Amino acid sequence: MLGLLLFLLGFCIFLFSFSIGSYRLTKEIVESKINDEKKLDLFITHGESLLGVTYTSSFSFISDLTRIFESVNQVQIERYGINSNDIEMILANTKDNPVVFSLDAIDKTFDGSAETSAFKAETFKDYGGWLDGSQFDSKDDLRSSIEGTVESIKKYGIINQVGFDRYQVKDLKFSLSKSATLGPIRDNPTLFLWLTYALCILGGLLYILPKKQLEGPRGIKNNNIFFKAMHNRGWLGIMTGSFLIVFYIFLYFYPEYMTPWIITVDPISEMLNGGEAGRFFLYGFIYTLCILIMGVRMMIKYRYSKYQLIRTASVMFFQTAFAFLIPEILIRLNKPYFDFKNIWPLDYDFFFDSELSKLIDSGGLGIFMLGWGIGLIIIGVPVFVYFFGKRWYCSWVCGCGGLAETLGDPYRQLSDKSLKAWKVERWMIHGVLAFAVLMTAAVLYTYWTGNSTLLGFINSYQIREIYGVYIGAGFAGVVGTGFYPIMGNRVWCRFGCPLAAYLGFIQRFKSRFRITTNGGQCISCGNCSTYCEMGIDVRWYAQRGQNIVRSSCVGCGVCSAVCPRGVLNLENGPEEGRFGKPILLGNDSFKVKT
């Protein structure tokens, strides 16, 4: 009880700290964050009423901040945008009979003597150069094409060059909000670090380490799991899932509201990488803590399974060392941030031009990192899957899998085992893989050629943004974790992860891994199917004594661990026996019993 109270106390302080403090933006803060002098002057001019004012609400402060950016962009659009009079002049400078558009009409309309005229001419040629030499049935048709080009210029050209594009706005709203934050958290971040995370850690450990957990008969106990509100889509589980969903939405799309939470972990960030924390440092810190604390719970629950103990220790190690500590230390050493265990296409931005340029420009270490990533994709994945199945990554190394196996373990029984779910799974996960391949081909084409359009209609910048927002953030983050208490702990791994699909292809057709079954010992208790997080009806195979060779199986081994009769074994053996009855393994084979 004490552990639960301490955890709830720390968690309540964490939630309360979201609204603690005030905001005051000064000219000095703005000057330190906006490097472009023209944009800086515009922001100060339009935001003069906001500077020096103290806000007690983050929502009102950020609302006014957003209004300033919108006001600056609107003024720039009106100043640099091609208006209706300009369009009529362009039409007047276009020859009739037939109506053939030429860029000469742009030079005649905008003589370039003024800054705005030169800008209009340059941007129209950039965005409407494809119209040069085109013939139209009438000037009305030409007007429609010109108006479409003008709208594209307003949406992209003006905003990107002389205004604040959405990426700048997103980054600046966060950095300005963080720098403008005042109050007790800003003054005492270490104190709040102890009052929130330290209390939650201590409370969590005291809650999962009571003496009664270590007593009683041997074996894995899942008593009354479907009668608990947390574990069977009850009110407590729905509340937990809702909090996770809201947390991910703020993290990915509205980080400027989370500045008090991010300031709290500044001391940890400064210790590791020498700089202030950002939103993804906060995310990585909380993510790692969840895996470590819930990993302890996992080890206690499955303490009689050597396989589960080693596997859980593995995901705890890889998340802490490779995904959190090493990348932060690299930053402190002025090296590129790099997660050595992250593999394309799960690491979907690995081949983005900005990432490639960063690695190539970093010298020998950056080239090694690039080679390491490509080597894992082409050589590492096929070789390791051949010998050990996809479990080597999905259940032993991957951070997504690590969170699912530790924090998500109480929800594994909620995965849908129906045939309909399996059909949806196949189409969705392979569709995401195809999308990732197409996106990567498009961004590499842009990197090599400088042309952002592939096959005449695929815009590499748009497609990468769509993937990043809807797959990378929405599916993998918001749905993938927030839906643990609703759809089980492997929603992302099962329905969306493109790397899991890639690994699954190899495991299904070219791997030594399988789960063997002894049908004569099966009592049809259903434990194996109930606790399969990937939605596989394991009992169906066990009753028939058939080996389980499925592309979706992540080899977690829990089905074997919860089997009361020892029916299931995870094995690596000769390929010849994968699709048939279990075979006797020779001394040269590797077998893992759980």
Give yes or no for residue 118 having a pLDDT over 60: yes
Compute the distance between CA of residue 206 and CA of residue 5 in angstroms, rounded to an integer: 10
Distance CA 235, CA 463 (A): 38
Asked whether residue 394 carries a pLDDT value surpassing 80, the answer given is yes
pLDDT of residue 217: 64
User: In the numeric block, which tokens belong to residue 160?
Assistant: 């990107």
Q: Is the pLDDT score of 52 beyond 60?
A: yes
Q: Residue 399: pLDDT above 90?
A: yes
pLDDT, averaged across the chain? 89
Asked if the model's pLDDT at residue 157 lies above 90, the reply is no
Question: What is the average per-residue pLDDT within 285-303?
Answer: 94
pLDDT of residue 580: 59
Q: Can you give the pLDDT at residue 579? A: 64
How many residues are present in the chain?
Answer: 594
Domain boundaries, the chain: 86-149, 352-510, 512-592
The string of pLDDT tens digits covering residues 166-196 is: 889 999 999 999 999 999 999 999 999 999 9
The predicted model gives 465-482 an average pLDDT of 93
Q: How far apart are CA 230 and CA 353, in angstroms?
A: 44
Tokens in use for 8?
A: 């709830």
Q: What is the pLDDT of residues 299-345, one digit of tens each?
A: 998 988 999 999 999 999 999 999 999 999 999 999 999 999 999 99
Residue 33 confidence (pLDDT) above 90? yes
For 466-474, the CB contacts below 8 A with 24+ separation are: 467/348, 467/435, 467/436, 467/439, 468/348, 468/349, 471/348, 471/432, 471/435, 471/436, 471/496, 472/348, 472/349, 473/248, 473/252, 473/253, 474/252
User: pLDDT at residue 242 above 90?
Assistant: yes
Please tell me the predicted confidence (pLDDT) of residue 243: 94
pTM of the predicted model as reported, rounded to 2 decimal places: 0.88
Task: Give pLDDT tens digits for 503-562.
Answer: 999 999 899 999 999 888 899 989 999 999 999 999 999 998 899 999 999 999 999 999
Question: Region 563-582: what's the mean pLDDT?
Answer: 77
Distance of CA 236 to the CA centre of its chain: 26
Dist. CA 551–CA 437, nearest whole Å = 19
pLDDT for 581 equals 52
pLDDT of residue 126: 85
Tens-place pLDDT, residues 349-375? 999 988 999 999 988 999 999 999 999
Q: Residue 480 above 90 pLDDT?
A: yes
Instruction: Return the pLDDT at 249.
Output: 94
Give the pLDDT confidence score for residue 214 in this predicted structure: 64
d(CA 553, CA 514): 9
For residue 96, pLDDT over 90 is answered with no
pLDDT surpasses 60 at 460: yes
Query: Which string of DSSP letters, residue by residue, matches 487-543?
Result: H-TTHHHHHT-HHHHHHHHHHHHS-SEEEEE-GGG-----HHHHT-TT---HHHHHH
Quick one: pLDDT at residue 134?
Answer: 86
CA atoms of 246 and 249, how far apart (whole Å): 5
What pLDDT is attached to residue 211?
Answer: 59
- Retrieve residue 196's tokens: 């929130």
In CATH terms, the fold of domain 512-592 is Alpha-Beta Plaits (3.30.70)
pLDDT at 213 over 80: no
Position 574 scores a pLDDT of 75
| Residues 399 and 217 sit within 8 Å (Cβ to Cβ) | no
Tokens representing residue 563 in the block: 């089997």
